[in-house]
Amino acid sequence: MGRVQGKVVIVTGAASNPGLGHSAALSLAREGARLVVTDVDAAGAKRCADEIRNAGGEAISLPQDVTDEAAWKQVMATTVETFGRLDVLVNNAGIAVLKPLDQLTLEDFNRQIAVNLTSVFLGCKYAAVEMRKTGGGSLINLSSVAGLVGISTCVAYGASKGGVRLMSKSLAAELGKDGIRCNSVHPGVIWTNMQAGAGGGSRDNADALAAGLAIRRVGEPKDIANCILYLASDESDYVTGAEFTVDGGMTAT
């Protein structure tokens, strides 16, 4: 217990359960973090914060459209007003637009980039302002295995997640002098509501994918939460500009 004791953490996209943001928020709270959980689904974000508080932790929830610059400024202001600082940002919010090229519209592509990539830029930009005031912090950006290798129907999704990967490295190079670390996390087949939606709601499709992995099982949100917890903690204070692939060996061969 206490691996992130007292740290103030924002987790975006924390409403969906099972989901990566929800699991990360609960794991961080169990280890002593004070949470700001946000989502465009305000009711879902509130449920996540309530769950943390009911377990004895500290959390507030805020509605947030991560593509809205003004909303980012308000989230930062409320975070500092409530907890006095910001130590960690987990840029988790995202969507998956998975279509063959001939069915992918420009509107689809632009929406995918806005939610998955532009939002990370905005979050890091305004988080860095607050982190500089207190001597540093940790930016944790959720990418994907689709940001590492080409996957059919992932033209827009892969572009957004590949952008997150390289943006994170550039931010690490730029912000290190300010004590700010930046790393990306690349999940594989993880059983979440998003994965269920991509597979038509059936776990059978995910299990079929997992059968070919080195670790022959579908990942669980806690597998990603454990990686996020490490990057949020001082255990990783010499780690920046790195990419953490948590995929059961999916990209190993």
DSSP output for 62-131: EE--TT-HHHHHHHHHHHHHHHS---EEEE---------GGG--HHHHHHHHIIIIIHHHHHHHHHHHHH
Token duo for residue 168: 């994170």
Three-state SS for 188-237 is CCECCHHHHHHCCCCHHHHHHHHCCCCCCCCECHHHHHHHHHHHHCHHHC
Strand 137-142 relative to strand 58-63: parallel, antiparallel, unpaired? unpaired
Q: Facing residues of 219 across strands?
A: 190
Amino acid at 206: A
DSSP output for 34-64: EEEEEESSHHHHHHHHHHHHHTT-EEEEEE-
Which one of 126, 157, 230, 238 is the catalytic residue? 157
Q: Put residue 248 in one of left, alpha, beta given phi > 0 → left and psi -120 to 50 → alpha.
A: left
Is 126 an annotated catalytic residue?
no
- Provide the annotated active-site residues: 157
